[in-house]
Chains A and B, each alone.
Chain A
Amino acid sequence: DVQLVESGGGVVQPGGSLRLSCIASGFTFDDYAIHWVRQAPGKGLEWVSHINGNGDSTYYADSVKGRFTISRDNSKNSLYLQMNSLRSEDTAFYYCATRGGTYFFDYWGQGTLVTVSS
């Protein structure tokens, strides 16, 4: 079975940094692009970033461009999100998600909560 498990969330002060991880299993990791999607508590879903299978193509939402960096280590079946210059509006659950047989988000992790607060 496909599994995505996020970790690395926590409480950080405004202007601080945090690195999220997502460990994947149950599929050929480097065959698939993976995304980060976030959800502020009680709010809707917001796409954050994408990385292709071999890691040489990335995209970002305007709201995080220049502050967040997505990367992957295919030897470890792992996805990362380096988050710098964090703001209160970055407070959210962060999910990694990928496609299965469709080109949408067939598979999601359980999410990790990032709280930016002084």
Chain B
Amino acid sequence: EIVLTQSPATLSLSPGDRATLSCRASQSVMNYLAWYQQKPGQAPRLLIYDASNRATGVPVRFSGSGSGTDFTLTISSLEPEDFAVYYCQQRINWPPLTFGPGTKVDVK
């Protein structure tokens, strides 16, 4: 099973700040990694797929990078609606499909 770890667990920032979230895999997932955003009371929303491709309708301030075992989600300038929990997920080696434990971006 591929284990994904995310850091930090919580990121306290202000609107307009740059956010950098990390996801590390226990073994290479090549570029088969996605990022999701989840707000309270809502289902997750796909933001980034295949490590660096924005999903339909995702603002350009969201970008993904990395390959192999180390990945980054960057939000260039936080908007009020971006405060949420972010999860990474791999699909190269399954079952099981696995998610990281999440990074909460909250208001400083």
Contacts and interface: CB of A to CB of B under 8 A. Distances in A.
A85 to B, nearest CB: 20
A44 B95 contact: no
Contacts of A105: 34, 36, 44, 46, 89
A35 B100 CA distance: 18
Interface residues of A, number: 23
B36 A59 contact: no
Contacts, number: 62
B64 to A, nearest CB: 12
A104 B46 contact: yes
Secondary structure at the A interface, as helix, strand, loop or mixed, is loop
B interface SS class: loop
Contacts of B62: none
Interface in B78-108: 87, 89, 91, 94-102
Interface of A: 35, 44-47, 50, 59-62, 95, 97, 100-106, 108-111
14 contacts: A44-B100, A45-B99, A47-B98, A50-B97, A95-B43, A102-B46, A102-B49, A102-B53, A104-B46, A104-B89, A105-B36, A108-B43, A109-B43, A110-B43
